[in-house]
Amino acid sequence: MKVRDAQPEDNEALVALAAQCPMVGDLSLCVDRRPEFFALSRLSGYPWRVGVIDGDTGPIGCVGVARRAVYLDGRATQLAYIGDLKVRPDHRGRGAGRALARWAMTAARDLVGDDGPLLATVLAGNTAVDTLRRDLAPTVRRWATVRSHSISLLWRRRRPRTGLAVRPAGPADGPAMVALWRRLSVARQFAPILESFPVSAPGPARAERAPWGSAPGPGPDYLLAHGPDGELVGFIGLWDQHGIKQMRVTGYSRRLAAARVGFNLAAPLFRAPRLPPPGGALRHRTVVNPCASDARTLRTLLVHAGNRLRGQCSFLTIGLDTRDPLSRALAGLFAQPTDVDLLVLGPTPRGTAPAHFEIATV
């Protein structure tokens, strides 16, 4: 069970490995990492590493580690993020997960030192990770749960009467977005420290937009919300991740399979994309860098975004800490939940401030 650093020539084998590790639930999904497995790794932070264990025919397990600059208790902090722990189903229970986790913790300590905080994500209900935690790092604790809300875009929603003006962002809006981000995100645990928001003019120029981080393809489209006095009070990025990963359906529960039949019958009437059969990819957008002064502002942005995307996508997804007051923005939107636990080792956040975690990077 020797772990080595992944190389570019491991790409195809790692793409295949990711496809063999679905997330099982009412809607079972696998993350299709074509065309480049490492594109998502680069979004995790810098520097980053991917460790792999080889089998007879190539990698049978992997894990990723990256350093991130974040706010922790209101102060700038360097943390190590551990994710992408995958072991091929036919090799589980043989020690591969333990070897990868041990390698990841050593690599994380190389990045942030012995006293730096470590953050990891795991799909809620993953009991195998609890066994690893007890064996390798019993002081690791589940600190928060980030709920990924998938909002159906089958019908148009009534816009809230908030007095807010919502419009697409343009190149001149970057400084105001950075200022609002700094003011609001400093109070949110693990929020990334961002110095810019690459934004192009809406329309045909979108194809030339600077990518988010180092991701291939166009970056997010941002929607801004301004108050009656013209002050920027919130924004969200809407990111089409197709160039970096696709959410491919591996199966529906009996209940959801019946709901899919009804959804697909109604879809043409609402000019909505049909839900794909097993093996097909979901058409969706993911909210990145959500920044809002209150739940009312976030709800207004989500409703505007959903109405804009209706007919292009089946879902709009946003991830929020289950303790986050902004979660009230999802009330009545009938979003399908998927929970991801945040595990923390080292200095843990104080107080009750919610976590900020970009669900797009999972």
pLDDT tens digits in sequence order for the chain, 362 residues long: 899 999 999 999 999 999 999 887 777 888 899 999 999 999 899 999 999 999 988 899 999 999 999 999 999 999 999 999 999 999 998 999 999 999 999 999 999 999 999 999 988 877 777 777 777 777 888 899 999 999 989 889 999 889 999 999 998 999 999 999 999 999 999 999 998 887 755 554 443 334 455 566 667 899 999 999 999 999 999 999 888 899 899 999 998 899 899 889 988 888 888 889 999 998 999 999 999 999 999 999 999 999 999 989 989 999 999 999 999 999 999 898 889 999 999 888 888 899 999 999 88
At 10, the amino acid letter reads D
Residues sharing a CB contact under 8 Å with residue 56, sequence separation 6 or more, in sequence order = none
Q: Is the Cα dihedral 74, 346, 48, 101 positive or negative?
A: negative
pTM: 0.91
Give pLDDT, residue 204.
42
| Pairwise CA distance, residues 320 & 273, whole Å | 26
Give pLDDT, residue 139.
80
Burial of 71 (0-12, 13-18, 19+ CB in 10 A): buried
Give pLDDT, residue 201.
52
Give pLDDT, residue 206.
42
Give pLDDT, residue 111.
97
User: What structural domains does the chain harbor?
Assistant: 3-148 (3.40.630.30), 149-334 (3.40.630.30)
